[in-house]
Structure 1
Amino acid sequence: MWSSSVVILTALDVEYEAVRQRLSEPDLYRHTTGTRFEVGTLPGGACRVALALVGKGNHASAVLAERAINEFEPAAVLFVGVAGGLWPNVALGDVVFGTHVYAYHGGTSEDDGLKARPRVWEVPHEVNQVAHHLARSGDWQDHHAERASAARVHFGAIAAGEVVHDSRISYEARWMRQHYNDALAIEMEAAGVAQAGHLNGSPVAVVRGISDRADGNKAASDGANWQARAAANAAAFAATLAAQLTGEGEDITMRDRRRPEQTGFTVHNTATGAGQVGIQAAQVTGSTVHLGASVGEPVRDLVAELSALRELLLRKRSVGDLDEATYEAARAELDIADKALADETPEGQSRFVTALKKLRGLVEETAELAAKVAALITAARGLA
């Protein structure tokens, strides 16, 4: 919907309100399924935010995250709120930025106990870089109450499961320490959002404020208002991160960026005869110029290339390079691309490229597939 938009999702009302307070003139946006978003801008007006409440649990968060991605086509999805801290050096009120998310309830039960079989999603490199820069600069602390001066930002794993952890000595707590002892925080929704982002080619960042220590004292921490304070810190960091991610109006999902257009230059070709000159300029005089293809190069057959891509996708699944869920999601995007290609309107061309961009996000870890999809995107834009 907007090239400079970010979706922010929360699970609790206190988290929602912490983000909403940072939006200017939020307007109600009703999805056809009944989901209600509030859409507003961050200070300065450069970043538009679509905010929604997903409720508790990874299942609901996955469904509503996918709904938001398809509706707003955001530059990124941020999941923002509170979590339990698992390490003593992560203080109440501190912010944890998830470098990766564990869906820790995956496992196999054997005679000698439960063995972990997690799914893991890493934050995209570019988003991680922006978040680290923001934490170093400390600029995010200028956007909320004075208590933020004591809050620090930590980078590490976040564990997302299906139960509330409030003990250090329970079986579940011991199992977590044994299998996921690098996790800084634990909560119940980030895995669903991360999976939705992965399947839809949208970058996801998880930002959590520490509101308790998952040690049996959650009621006391909540009574001391740490939920609201931690939610405010997480919202402040996330809002500043969103502004940074969209600050230059650049969609961070586009890995086939071209160099910025140059203006104010004139190039004169002084070559004679059959001489060839390579150029990069806004204006050219004294030449006949062919852009994007050699003279006589045939127009690429996108229908045939989509068919070849579909065959390659099937081969990668058959040899185990793609799991079944990723394969099915990628095939669905290819179906959308096929239909869009038959629509010879600007809207059809736009849908074609959007489907390919989502497909590229799904297969980015398979180099051969990712390269072919990127080439198709470039070809499609060249024919526009």
Structure 2
Amino acid sequence: MTSRFENSGIVNQGGSMTISGTAVGDGATVVHHHPPEADIGTRSDVGVITVKDSEARAVKDALGLDREVVGGIPYWRGSVDHRGVVARVAMIRSLHQGQRSTMAAFEHLRETFRPAVVALVGIGGGFHPDVSAGDVAIGTRVVYYDLRKETADGVQRRGENPETPAIVGNSVNSFFVDHGEPARFESEGSGFHVIPCVIGTGEAVIADAESEIRKYLKHYNDKVSVVDMEAGGLAQAFFERGNSSGMRGWVVIRGVSDHSDKDKNDAMQNTAARHAAEVLRALIPYLPCHA
């Protein structure tokens, strides 16, 4: 996109620019080349961030996406038609686990496709006794537990509790009005539950039922049902960049693969990832991502 600004004198739009012709005096003209951004033909309605290979494959298969390299970065794109609602989807797999890589993945989606809603989809650790392996949690609110002060008397945690904009929260509520709470889904001959929840998030992998982090989260908000390592990065990236880009919000969809205790293992990861992807497909018609 190119904008032209003309006046008498010197024109300065700030930042870097290309100046052509004479820029001083009557008829001074500055040609400002803006960085490329998604046009109407490349924009997506829903952006999806995954981390693990099993998560990316599950979303690709559930939504029928095809690989496409844009600007040297691999994405998976396609159109999803669910009960007459068609949405354009672009998925990216983050380079690493954790909050920082998730923020970078969000920025790639934002710059390239400007999705209305970004969904973080994959597996998480169960945190509540009523949540079983294979169940899926939909989160529109997170508790970030890593902010802390180390003192001689112990750790003082300073939690943050960001929430997605109300337009997305209301959309998720509508999903549960139609499907029940908890919702009951079937996949490959077995059933699982889908619940709304608060997501606990930080950089630490929790594999101890008596960990100090678990105790803190229970004290901070007893509605925390699932923990992960990325949701805080998504919420922060949207807060800093999404609002200014006209994006409408974010949502986290986590299939429960274990119970974040000493028995934590990989046995249920593929199943949990598949269930999360199937719930994403069912949720897309409710999201505020269509013109």
Tell me, yes or no, if structure 1 residue 28 matches structure 2 residue 42.
no
Percent identity over paired residues = 28
Give the TM-score taking structure 1 as reference length.
0.58
Give the Å deviation of 1:4: 5.6
Please identify runs of 4+ aligned residues in structure 1 that moved more than 6 A. 139-143
Q: Once the 2 structures are TM-superposed, how far is the Cα of residue 122 of structure 1 from its aligned partner?
A: 0.3
Structure-2-length-normalised TM-score: 0.75
1:117 is aligned to 2:158: yes
Contact 1:66 1:197 in 2 (8 A): no
1:227 corresponds to which residue? Answer: 269
Q: Deviations over 1:332-378 (max 9, x none)?
A: xxxxxxxxxxxxxxxxxxxxxxxxxxxxxxxxxxxxxxxxxxxxxxx
State the distance in 1 between where 2:280 and 2:107 align: 20
Q: Which residue of the partner structure matches residue 199 of structure 1?
A: 240
Matched ranges for 1:323-338 at <5 A: none
Q: What is the distance in 2 between the residues matched to 1:144 and 1:87?
A: 23
- Unmatched tracts of structure 1, length 5 or more: 251-384
Q: How many residues align?
A: 241
Give the Cα–Cα distance (whole angstroms) in 2 for the partners of residues 136 and 95 of structure 1.
17
Contact preservation (8 Å) 2:202, 2:228: yes
Query: Which residue, 79, 98, 104 being the options, matches 2:139?
Result: 98
- C-alpha separation between the residues in 1 aligned to 2:63 and 2:137? 22
The CA RMSD over aligned residues, in Å, is: 2.3
Following TM superposition, by how much is the alpha carbon of 1:162 offset from its aligned partner in structure 2, in angstroms? 0.8
C-alpha change, 1:103 and 1:31, in structure 2 (3 Å) is farther
Q: Distance in 2 between matches of 1:204 and 1:143?
A: 25
Distance (Å, rounded) in 2 between the aligned partners of 1:204 and 1:172: 25
Deviations 1:187-226 (A, max 9, x none): 101111111111121311111111111111112xx33xx2
Residue in 2 aligned with 1:86? Answer: 127
Looking at structure 1, the residues matched to 98 and 173 of structure 2 have their Cα atoms a distance apart, in angstroms, of: 28
Q: Map 1:220-369 to 2 at 5 A.
A: 222-223=266-267, 226-245=268-287, 249-250=290-291
CA contact (8 A) 1:101 1:120 kept: yes
1:7 and 2:50 aligned: no
Higher helix share: 1
The answer as to 2:202 corresponding to 1:161 is yes
What's the CA shift string for 1:8-60, capped at 9, x where partnerless? 11111111111111223x3333232x321011111357111101111311110
Match of 2:10 in 1: none
Instruction: Please say if 1:42 is aligned against 2:69.
Output: no
Moved more, 3-12 or 85-94: 3-12
Structure 1 pair 100–53 and aligned structure 2 pair: CA distance change class (3 A): same
